Amino acid sequence: MPLKHPIRKTLVTLGLLLTLCLPTPIAASSRSWKSWFIEQYFWLKRDKSYYAEQDDTSFQTYLDACQEQSDKPYVLDPTTVNGTLVQENLFDMQVYSWNSNGKTDQKTIFYLAGGSYLNNPTSYHISMLKTLSTSLDAKIVLPIYPKAPRYTYNYTMPKLVNLYQHYYHKNQNIFLMGDSAGGGLALGLAHALHNESVPQPKQLVLLSPWLDVTMSHPEIPKYEDADPILSSWGLKRVGELWAYSADNTNHIYVSPKNGPITYLPPITLFTGTREIFYPDIRDYAAKLKAANHNITFITQEGMNHVYPIYPIEEAKTAQYQIIDAINKTP
């Protein structure tokens, strides 16, 4: 439950600040103290409340606020990335890229950031991408793709297919990566690439992907109370907006777990066990394994949604695993 008492808020905030300053992690059960305090921080921020069950007017107010923000130009500080930052407008999208070395075979990470199909990338995304880019000497491509509630998947997906082709024609050493809604969008994009006869990326790297916008998995209610970030009530409604209609939510570009497996590239898939997407992700990994697909499935016990992007020890391990997976790709 979110912490409401001001004294408890103050204590947790102080504890969070102190813990994040510790030079070494202190294990609490099977997780670091930093990860525990980050979870308390999420409860304090009350992000989950935006998606919790509420009256239609209140939820529409939240959607309107998201639209107001996503309608504004996204500003990325050049000092937060490694290498030269380039901003372009391609296919009616803002597109940022950085750390290009000019070589036609440079590793390139085409990254679709999460945010419930409503929100733009956060500083956590940029920090993780900087780590990956520096370690791999990889170029980063970060589209600020059109989002709900103004736009729907059938407006955005063709633009992403065109953008991917734009970079693929220059360099085939592309890795497609995304988290949360961006992870679902990355897998949906892989389906769209196949349908448009566009070559697949070298690998898909998916962090807590949103695989089914219907939120209909029967085990989701078991994980609601443990997840400090997401709630199925609001996500189901956002999914219907993104899908254009409630009748289209099973489309493979929207709920990509429903798509074929045979043509997909190798997949590296991450999830925590304290998130409502866990049952869908676990079952999708099992489906891939049953089909003998090339998959690396990493489940981190006790971790929250998209844990690899946050400033915690478990994220450092996950980032090393991502770097290793990309480096080992032929």
pTM across the whole model: 0.92
CB-based burial, 117-156: b 16+ in 10 Å, e otherwise: bbbbbeebbbbbbbbbbebbebbbbbbbbbbbbebbbeeb
Question: Do 106 and 100 meet the contact criterion of CB atoms below 8 Å apart?
Answer: yes
Tell me the residue type at 260.
Answer: P
Residue 98 lies in a domain: yes
Q: What is the mean pLDDT of the chain?
A: 93
Q: Which of 79, 171, 175, 98 is closest to 139 using CA atoms?
A: 98
* Predicted local distance difference test score (pLDDT) of residue 38: 95
| pLDDT, tens digit (0-9, with 9 covering 90-100), for 78-113 | 999 999 999 999 999 999 999 999 999 999 999 999
- Let me know if residue 63 belongs to a domain: yes
Long-range contacts of 121-125 (CB under 8 A, 24+ apart): 121/74, 121/76, 122/309, 123/80, 124/309, 124/310, 124/311, 125/179, 125/309
Q: Which domain holds residue 19?
A: 1-45
Per-residue pLDDT band at 8 (split at 50, 70, 90): very low
Taking the CA atoms of residue 294, residue 300, residue 306 and residue 307 in that order, the dihedral angle to the nearest 10 degrees is -130
**Residue 30 binned pLDDT confidence (cut-offs 50, 70, 90):** confident
Q: Are residues 11 and 141 in the same domain?
A: no
DSSP type of residue 47: G
Q: Is residue 213 part of a domain?
A: yes
> Given a cut of 90, is residue 22 above it in pLDDT?
no
Q: For residues 10 and 122, state if they share a domain.
A: no
pLDDT at 1: 35
Neighbouring C-beta atoms of residue 246, cutoff 10 Å: 12
The string of pLDDT tens digits covering residues 152-163 is 999 999 999 999
Q: What is the DSSP string of 192-203?
A: HHHHTT-PPPSE
Cβ neighbours for 77, distance < 8 A, ≥ 6 positions apart: none
The verdict on 4 and 140 lying in the same domain is: no
Mean pLDDT, residues 263-287: 98
Residue 252 lies in a domain: yes
pLDDT of residue 29: 53
Looking up tokens 């030079």, which residue turns up?
Answer: 23
Same domain, 299 and 153: yes
Q: What percent of the chain has pLDDT over 90?
A: 91
Q: Could you tell me if 140 and 259 lie in one domain?
A: yes
Cα distance between the two ends of the chain? 46
pLDDT exceeds cutoff 50 at 3: no
CATH of the domain at 172: 3.40.50.1820
Residue 39 and residue 77 share a domain: no
Lowest model confidence (mean pLDDT) among 10-14, 33-37, 243-247, 295-299: 10-14
Cβ contact 307:313 at 8 Å: no
Q: How many domains is the chain partitioned into structurally? A: 2
Clarify whether residues 211 and 150 are in a common domain. Answer: yes
Residue 329 CB neighbour total at 10 angstroms: 16
Same domain, 247 and 285: yes
Instruction: Please tell me the distance from the alpha carbon of residue 231 to that of residue 143, in angstroms, as a whole number.
Output: 26
Domain assignment of residue 51, yes or no? no
Low-confidence winner among 2-6, 168-172, 272-276 (lowest mean pLDDT): 2-6
Q: Residues 298, 319, 202, 125: is their CA dihedral positive or negative?
A: positive
pLDDT band at 43 (very low <50, low <70, confident <90, very high): very high
In a domain, 83, yes or no: yes
Same structural domain, 3 and 126 = no
121 in any annotated domain:
yes
| DSSP at 244 | S
Q: Are 112 and 185 found together in one domain?
A: yes
The average pLDDT across 63-81 equals 97
pLDDT, tens digit, 9 for 90 and up, residues 176-211: 999 999 999 999 999 999 999 999 999 999 999 999
Beta strands 139-144 and 267-272: pairing type?
A: unpaired
Report yes or no on 50 lying in a domain: no
- The reply to whether 149 and 215 lie within a common domain is yes
Contact 275, 211 (CB under 8 A): no
Q: Are residues 158 and 41 in the same domain?
A: no
> Is-contact 112 185, C-beta < 8 A?
yes
> Can you tell me the mean pLDDT for 206-220?
98
Whether the Cβ atoms of residue 251 and residue 153 lie closer than 8 Å to each other? yes
